[in-house]
Amino acid sequence: MLGNEVAVIEVDRARLEALRAGSVPFHEPDLEPLIGSGLAAGTLSFTDDYSRAIPSAEIVFMCVGTPSGAHGRPDLGFVRAAVREIARQVDGNETIVTKSTVPIGTRDWLADLLESELATPADRPAVVSNPEFLREGRAVADFLHPHRVILGSNDEMALDLVEQLYRPILEQSFPGGDGRRPALVRTDNPTAETIKYAANAFLATKISFINEISTICEAVGADVEAVALAIGMDPRIGPEFLAAGPGWGGSCFGKDIDALVSTATEHGVEAQLLQATRDVNLRQRERVVDRVRRELHGLLGRRIAVLGVAFKPGTDDVRDSPAVHVAERLREGGATVVAHDPIVRRVPELGDVEITDTVTAAVDRADAVVIMTDWPDYAGLDLAQVASVMRGDLIVDTRNQLDAEAVEAAGLRYAGTGRPAPTPRRALEL
Ligand code: UGA
């Protein structure tokens, strides 16, 4: 759509076939139509053959996964395999762009690996680090309208080339571009790599901060929603990522913090704040389990409905999902867990936990309902209906989506995160 020809290499046969047919093998709004129009226009193709895609390319984006390996260090197995294949095909005209989140210092490792695999050392391509800031569920919009584009390299010509590729986005000159031009940061490779980790670590720390404040709010009878709103009015703090809840999850924050802590440790730096961010997050998940156990006077034999399985709304991703963690812990405690999610249908870690098609089926005969993911569907729950089919009366609203008074009016007991219970006192009137 930005006027380029793109060949995507996908080595998984099933995924390749799906993509060729225009189907995206995961839930990501707006992506399928984009792929469909690229396929129809002939500007987008999918292959598993490096020799078809690489020699004709000017720029090769490395987007393979970097899952957590031993001691929190990212496992670079997929990167290594891709680099070896690329090295066999390059003819000296390519620039490699690392989109994958790679450990700080990877450029040097990658350059050495390339050199050792190249048939002709003179063909060594330049490497530009171009970290990714997309959010799942908003990936297309975040890609087209980023806050900033980060390019890191010691090769000015390679930086110019990749900057040129980003020009329609930097100038928002493509059809559908808006007036907000993103910033461009040109820097070196290790700085670009560090920016990625620092951004995710900061966001995770901001959430752990408000979650810790929510614990204090519960102890002193304050309302974390009002606290977050008021502190967020200070532009130095900002309103985003201050929603208290059951802790952050997903495939990025935990993995990236582990990687940054492990890089710091390798360099003799103790990353105390990042470790605390992680610890607070785990504690926040456990606080949900403790709350349910306390309110139900034990978990053994209880029937608990968990609403929301994805790590956040807008995605079917359950990697490191707080909902999965909490459901597992409730089961370990002897409860029967029945879950609902608008799009997730199966979670291998949850074994035989039933994931129902309707909320009513999940809350039927439940002693407690625990809302874990802030899907908009749950904010509009029919509370009278929920009360009529539940066996008990406890609603644990970890995302503070419901009106506590409405819950009580339906004859149910309300437990939010960092909110005074059971009847909320309005701490801030706007
Ligand atoms: C995150 C970053 O936001 C992206 O910028 C980054 O590109 C991406 O990781 C990545 O490294 O690939 P994502 O994992 O899609 O994106 O999810 P977020 O929207 O950041 O949410 C992460 C977790 O924090 C979710 O579990 C969410 O429920 C939780 N969260 C978020 C809160 O508990 N409170 C908040 O106020 C915001």
* Residue in the structure block whose two tokens are 């197995």: 77
Q: For residue 7, is it within any domain?
A: no
Q: Residue 120: count other Cβ atoms within 10 Å of its Cβ.
A: 9
Burial class (CB in 10 A: 0-12, 13-18, 19+), 267: exposed
> Do residues 180 and 239 share a domain?
no
Q: Which of 45, 84, 36 is nearest to 62 (CA)?
A: 84
Query: Which one-letter amino acid corresponds to residue 38?
Result: G
> Do residues 274 and 389 share a domain?
yes
252 among known catalytic residues:
yes
Q: For residue 36, is it within any domain?
A: no
Counting from 1 in the atom list of ligand 1, the atom nearest the Cα of 250 is: 14
> Do residues 158 and 225 share a domain?
no
Domain boundary among 187, 218, 248: 187
Q: For residue 33, is it within any domain?
A: no
Counting from 1 in the atom list of ligand 1, the atom nearest the Cα of 253 is: 9
> Do residues 183 and 208 share a domain?
no
> Do residues 231 and 342 share a domain?
yes
Please list the ranges in the chain whose pLDDT falls under 70. 421-430
Cα 241 to ligand 1 centroid, rounded to whole Å: 8
> Do residues 122 and 224 share a domain?
no
> Do residues 167 and 295 share a domain?
no
Cis bond upstream, residue 422 (ω within 30): yes
Counting from 1 in the atom list of ligand 1, the atom nearest the Cα of 132 is: 7
In degrees and rounded to multiples of 5, residue 275 shows phi and psi of -65, -40
User: To 5 degrees, how large is the angle CA 49–CA 55–CA 57?
Assistant: 100
Domain boundary among 137, 167, 187: 187
Residue 221 CA to residue 336 CA, distance in Å, equals 32
Domain boundary among 153, 187, 221: 187
> Do residues 217 and 171 share a domain?
no
Q: What is the pLDDT of residues 188-211, one digit of tens each?
A: 999 999 999 999 999 999 999 999
Query: Which one-letter amino acid corresponds to residue 36?
Result: G
Which residue has a Cα nearest atom 19 of ligand 1? Answer: 135
Query: Which one-letter amino acid corresponds to residue 253?
Result: F
Helices (H), 127-188: 139-144, 156-170
Domain total in the chain: 2
Counting from 1 in the atom list of ligand 1, the atom nearest the Cα of 322 is: 26
- CB 338, CB 304: distance < 8 Å: yes
| H or E element that contains 326 | helix 322-332
- CB 22, CB 35: distance < 8 Å: yes
> Do residues 181 and 222 share a domain?
no
Range of the domain at 368: 190-430
> Do residues 203 and 144 share a domain?
no
Q: For residue 38, is it within any domain?
A: no
Q: Cα–Cα distances in Å, from 302 out to 142, 322, 332, 390?
A: 42, 20, 12, 12
Model's pTM, two decimal places? 0.94
Q: What is the pLDDT of residues 70-107, one digit of tens each?
A: 888 889 999 999 999 998 898 878 899 999 988 898 88
Instruction: Considering the candidates 19, 35, 252, 412, report the single residue annotated as catalytic.
Output: 252
Cα 199 to ligand 1 centroid, rounded to whole Å: 11
Cα 200 to ligand 1 centroid, rounded to whole Å: 8
| H or E element that contains 416 | strand 413-416
Q: For residue 372, is it within any domain?
A: yes
- Outline where DSSP puts E strands in 21-119: 44-47, 59-62, 95-98
Mapped onto helix, strand or coil, the DSSP state of residue 7 is: strand
> Do residues 147 and 255 share a domain?
no
Residue 193 CA to residue 63 CA, distance in Å, equals 14
- Which of the listed residues 205, 206, 248, 373 should we mutate to test ligand 1's pocket, taking the one with most ligand atoms within 8 A of CB? 248
Sheet of 368-371: strand order equals: 354-356, 336-340, 303-307, 368-371, 394-397, 413-416
- Outline where DSSP puts E strands in 314-389: 336-340, 354-356, 368-371
Counting from 1 in the atom list of ligand 1, the atom nearest the Cα of 204 is: 24
Q: For residue 32, is it within any domain?
A: no
Q: Residues with Cβ within 6 A of ligand 1?
A: 132-136, 200, 203, 207, 241-243, 245, 248-250, 252-253, 311-312
Which residue has a Cα nearest atom 18 of ligand 1? Answer: 135
Would you give the DSSP letter of residue 422?
S
Which residue has a Cα nearest atom 29 of ligand 1? Answer: 248
- CB 397, CB 414: distance < 8 Å: yes
- CB 172, CB 81: distance < 8 Å: no
- Which of the listed residues 26, 28, 195, 207 should we mutate to test ligand 1's pocket, taking the one with most ligand atoms within 8 A of CB? 207
Q: What is the CATH number of the domain that holds 175?
A: 3.40.50.720
- Which of the listed residues 64, 68, 98, 136 should we mutate to test ligand 1's pocket, taking the one with most ligand atoms within 8 A of CB? 136
> Do residues 425 and 338 share a domain?
yes
Q: For residue 25, is it within any domain?
A: no
- 165, 11, 309, 250 alpha-carbon torsion, rounded to 10°: -50
Q: For residue 245, is it within any domain?
A: yes
Contacts of 221 (CB under 8 A, 6+ apart): 420, 425
Mapped onto helix, strand or coil, the DSSP state of residue 222 is: coil
